[in-house]
Amino acid sequence: MQIFFYHKPNRLVEPVTDKSANKKAKDILDDFYQNRVKLKIPSKFIENWGKVALYHPKGDLDKANSILIEPENGAYNLKNNINDLTGKEWIKFTCSWFIFNALKEDIKQEKALDPNSETHPATYSPTMISDFISFFTKKGDNVLDPFMGIGSTAEACKRTGRVAYGTELNPKYHSIAIRREERFEKNIVNGDAKLIDTFGFPMIDFSISSPPYWDILNRSTGEFKKVRDKKQLDTKYSEHNLDLGNIDDYDEFIKSCAEVYVKLYNILRKGAHIVIIIKNVKKDGKFYPLAWDLAKELSSLYELRDEKIWIQDKIGLAPYGYPFSWTSNILHHYCLILKKV
Ligand SMILES: C[S@@+](CC[C@H](N)C(=O)[O-])C[C@H]1O[C@@H](n2cnc3c(N)ncnc32)[C@H](O)[C@@H]1O
């Protein structure tokens, strides 16, 4: 007998062996299938519908609204309006911190796309961003990055089956970003992120981005600058006066950066999340809580949900402060999570 119904009598998900319960479950599943578009059932279930079973922890058929394929991969609740994940997949992402270092495969892929991709001084990994996109969107959703750089977010959208939109000020980086996928070419504008609500973008379901970390690149010295100068790679984003990375005053930077996300609010769907990846920084020996101040500035408009802390543990430590004062090597970033309510 093919099993169409599972329950969880103790700690394990187990098949219900009763024949009539399975018949009723099959009828319910047929009804779900008929309404698959309305119910937004993820394609990973639709494509394997023959293997899909109904699930209710207490074995209550009338209340069952979860489906599964392999019990060990968890069940997907049809009321899930955020993503396509089962409960088991969902929980994996909910840890408030993660360790992630640059991936060779991502860098190799970027170089294959354009040998000059390395010239961008501060990209993030499409692999890392794919995890955020998979959590905060459903397949086919619109994802926007106002600081698109060379298109890591667009690459993550390509890998996860989402649609990328965005802006990037520097034409050199923009020209690489638009090559990530043909259908995103017209969606990524070479322009100022502060005008994000004027480019005719559709309603956006999720945004993830990393703005310039104030003007820290302009002040870069030491190994980073030496190595990149030698290879004739950029050590700052541009000389453009609209480039947020060229704002010297801290308060002005916070205001300008926040303005981008205020404009973004106008084209965000209600209930949509945004993730901003940013760091606290030091300038001339003084500590500036950039991530916290930006979060505070935006929390009058958005609901500040919380943060996920991204840790890099493969970067060498410099002997800052020794032997006089406490000065950390800042190797963590804040992924601020905000919501339009
Ligand atoms: C931290 S980088 C983002 C890199 C990107 N996440 C990637 O992986 O390629 C910040 C980007 O913001 C861009 N930028 C700075 N000011 C901007 C503005 N006013 N409008 C649009 N882009 C801007 C810079 O050129 C730079 O590429």
What is the pLDDT at residue 132? Answer: 98
What is the structure's pLDDT at 69?
97
Q: What domains appear along the chain, each with residue ranges and CATH number? A: 5-89 (no CATH), 97-339 (3.40.50.150)
Q: For residue 323, is the peptide bond before it cis, meaning its omega torsion is within 30 degrees of 0? A: yes
Q: Buried b vs exposed e over 71-109: b needs ≥16 C-beta within 10 Å?
A: beebbbeeebeebbbbeeebeeeeeeeeebeeeeebeee
pLDDT of residue 220: 77
Q: Which of 237, 253, 310 to mutate to test the pocket of ligand 1 (most atoms within 8 A of CB)?
A: 237
**147 CA distance to ligand 1 middle (Å):** 4
Rounded to the nearest angstrom, the distance between the alpha carbon of 25 and the centre of ligand 1 is 51
User: Taking the chain (341 residues) in consecutive chunks of 10 residues, what is each chunk's mean pLDDT?
Assistant: 95 96 97 97 97 97 97 97 97 98 94 90 96 98 98 98 98 96 97 98 98 91 84 93 97 98 98 98 94 98 98 93 93 98 97
Residue 98 bridge partners (DSSP): 310
Give the per-residue pLDDT at 144. 98
